[in-house]
Chains A and B, each alone.
Chain A
């Protein structure tokens, strides 16, 4: 071998030896689950995409309590429907926080969550919000209400109803606001069709949709009020409109049947004033009446962050999720039909 080759070989050998050492230590340390030291509990949280920051804030406060002191977390966040199905298929979870009640019901039907999960004071709901219309800074298109969304030049981004919980809230709000404003079912359907004609992108989750909007893929985003507030808190610059007629969003949280007992303690903490306060700080509307509401940065008016829309409607007024899913989202429902119709016309 020439000298050059010898040097090359030695260098490579050294590189490989070093890499192997790193890898083997990483292998031992990294891939294995963190061993439970005496007293440390690891809880697994599976949630929809949007409340990651809120849950992390609550977890920090939880760690300051005696019960939550030695708890470490392993978390997964993503589109609500996808996450629910992942848990069904074996993704480890102790506490789940989804966007739709149906995503918890799926787990109840599979025997993973107890049937009494929603018999408590808040009926299983851990946070509220409302559907809002997000527009570019300064509102260049002059959007004031739902009817402005069908003006020419409006490009809407809303998530994909197949995977995202946010999408379902959005679509239901867009539909029902016509009726809340005095229209008929036929008019509501016509509006929804026009709405879909203006949809420019259908990303997988609520968070994906927000990002698509921020990147400029569309000029209007339909989203959770808390998502808009949080984005503005993080420095993103845009405006959002809380329409007079809009849907109240209610997000469930539940503990799994074979979960670590600490998970129930966490759920109770989430529903306590201390936990709810953290939700409020991140832009969610609290479910416990006596939650202190201070200034919420990022809201339209930080001192009055959660105005109540004059024509706020809820899922129960719409007939509950079972009826809604059958009418709108399941195979043969309104939305797949509209998607097919508008898809073909593109």
Chain B
């Protein structure tokens, strides 16, 4: 690698999620001096790209926000605070927080084992971890129903309960923290840990005071992504959760019912909450990765 490329080398950043063992960290964009300003051709390219992006993403999302405000503030507030919607939002956010907490622990442990441990079949686990990312959600829902529903071989029946929601969330958010923590662990220099050990620190202390702080930004960004993914989940819950209003109905199912009932304004109102949360998460991610890079 040349000097220039090293300048661009990524800080062990709070990178975004990629699959496949974290080979590619999402890196900050290069500093301005590495880039040139727009030429006429690239300017045209930018224009075309922005038009496409607007037509596909920006305009539709704006339409949601506009639709949500169609009835004015009072209608928006009514739609949001209707007991059924509130219950759905509470359930969704509550289970998403629980799942994220579990993922923080398990995701870090899995990343640790993948990076620091060597055993036969480890490569297989790399593929397994990415399956929830690539598997269609309806397939996941189908099988979750067989595994944990009324005809479960386990003898449990969680089909119309919050446990079903929890399990579905847990499945689809599995890869996120693992994939953000893995590249950071890879880049971590073991000399610091060895120095701490030689100074008499126990492994636990080393982990707590040396490793964990370095991992914290990665875990945080992975947790944010995992939370976002959980509150968005739909396909795996369609068959599984019974969709009892006030009890097992999640936000996305609520939105779908509203759409099918042609109550587009109510649907857009709930959707706008999910959008706002997503935006906050993305902005936070960008800030975190910028802040960590400054320390590198």
How many chain A residues have a CB neighbour from B under 8 Å?
24
Cβ < 8 Å to B, chain A residues 217-231: 217
Q: Are B245 and A339 in contact (CB under 8 A)?
A: yes
Q: Are A216 and B151 in contact (CB under 8 A)?
A: yes
With a 10 A CB-CB cut-off, give which of B84, B149, B242 has the most chain A CB atoms: B242
Q: Are B243 and A202 in contact (CB under 8 A)?
A: yes
Q: Are B242 and A215 in contact (CB under 8 A)?
A: no
Encoded as 1 (CB less than 8 Å from any B CB) or 0, chain A from 147 to 160 comes to 00000000000001
Q: Are A215 and B145 in contact (CB under 8 A)?
A: yes
Residues of A with C-beta under 8 A to B84: 340, 343
Among the listed stretches B42-50, B125-133, B255-263, B279-287, which one makes contact with chain A, having 4 or more residues with CB under 8 Å of it?
Answer: B255-263
Decide yes or no whether A201 CB sits under 8 A from chain B.
yes
Residues of A with C-beta under 8 A to B245: 160, 202, 339, 343
Decide yes or no whether B166 CB sits under 8 A from chain A.
no
Q: Give the complex CA separation of A82 and B157 in angstroms.
A: 30
Decide yes or no whether B196 CB sits under 8 A from chain A.
no
For residue B157, which residue of chain A has the nearest CB?
Answer: A216
Residues of A with C-beta under 8 A to B150: 215-217
Decide yes or no whether A346 CB sits under 8 A from chain B.
yes
Q: Are B261 and A162 in contact (CB under 8 A)?
A: yes
Please give the distance in Å from B241's CB to the nearest CB on chain A.
Answer: 9
Chain B, interface residues (CB within 8 Å), range: 20 to 34
Decide yes or no whether B112 CB sits under 8 A from chain A.
no
Encoded as 1 (CB less than 8 Å from any A CB) or 0, chain B from 85 to 97 comes to 0010000000000
Task: Using A200-B244, A217-B160 as known contacts, say yes or no to A344 and B261 having CB atoms under 8 A apart.
Answer: no
Encoded as 1 (CB less than 8 Å from any A CB) or 0, chain B from 140 to 159 comes to 00000100011100000101
Q: Give the complex CA separation of A85 and B262 in angstroms.
A: 7
With a 10 A CB-CB cut-off, give which of B84, B151, B262 has the most chain A CB atoms: B262
Residues of B with C-beta under 8 A to A188: none
Decide yes or no whether A163 CB sits under 8 A from chain B.
yes
For residue A218, which residue of chain B has the nearest CB?
Answer: B160
Q: Are A203 and B257 in contact (CB under 8 A)?
A: no
Q: Are B83 and A200 in contact (CB under 8 A)?
A: no
Q: Are B242 and A203 in contact (CB under 8 A)?
A: yes
Cβ < 8 Å to A, chain B residues 56-106: 83-84, 87
Cβ < 8 Å to B, chain A residues 168-215: 199-204, 212, 215
Q: Are A212 and B262 in contact (CB under 8 A)?
A: no
Decide yes or no whether A50 CB sits under 8 A from chain B.
no
Residues of B with C-beta under 8 A to A339: 245-246
13 extra A-B contacts, CB within 8 A, seeds A162-B261, A203-B243, A344-B83:
A82-B261, A85-B262, A89-B262, A215-B149, A216-B159, A217-B159, A217-B160, A217-B242, A339-B245, A340-B83, A343-B246, A343-B247, A346-B247
Can you sample 15 A-B contacts with CB below 8 Å? A85-B262, A88-B262, A160-B243, A162-B257, A203-B243, A204-B257, A212-B242, A215-B149, A215-B151, A216-B150, A340-B84, A343-B83, A343-B87, A344-B246, A346-B247
